Amino acid sequence: MHATTILSVRRGGLVAIGGDGQVSLGQTIVKGDARKVRRLAGGRVIAGFAGATADAFTLIERLEGKLEQHPSNLTRAAVELAKDWRTDRYLRRLEAMMIVADEQTTLTLTGAGDVIEPARGIAAIGSGGDFARAAAIALHEETDLDAEAIVRRAMAIAASICVYTNDSLIIEKLGR
């Protein structure tokens, strides 16, 4: 996925998901302050998306429906969405990825049917995802920064390396 970076870090009872604001069409930046991280399920779940915006919004709407069916079980809702995404002829064509989190669980969802709980509580997607994840792992292991501070610093590092990532961040957090 090109054109964005989403990073999730879990530490000390807090989960933070941050996304940059850059929207690119080919090699042109068309917007710098898009909101790619949103609260769902009455604020109990955070979702960050990378990929085609309309596709991501379709998936977010579907996830919200699954969360209504399984209100206290993010994993079950995510698995049900992944099943639909993988088997439904229309959904199968959607080009997006998502990171979703509640107070207990963080998951990465893909169109290949993946529902992955990340190691170390750190997940990243998008064109700058590998840079952000590497920086977050180092900051998590080498500092006492909280989850939000790690997201801010790691996303700044990613933005300094990846041309599809900027430093206009939206960060949402859950927990104490």
Active site positions, annotated: 4
The structure tokens listed for 152 are: 């801010």
For residue 128, the 8-state DSSP code is T
Residues 6+ apart with CB under 8 A from 76: 66, 70
Alpha-carbon distance 75 to 35, whole Å? 24
**What would the DSSP string read from start to end of 5-33?**
EEEEEEETTEEEEEEE--EEETTEEEES-
On the 0-12 / 13-18 / 19+ scale of CB atoms within 10 A, 166 is buried
**What would the DSSP string read from start to end of 131-175?**
HHHHHHHHHHHH----HHHHHHHHHHHHHHH-TT--S-EEEEEEE
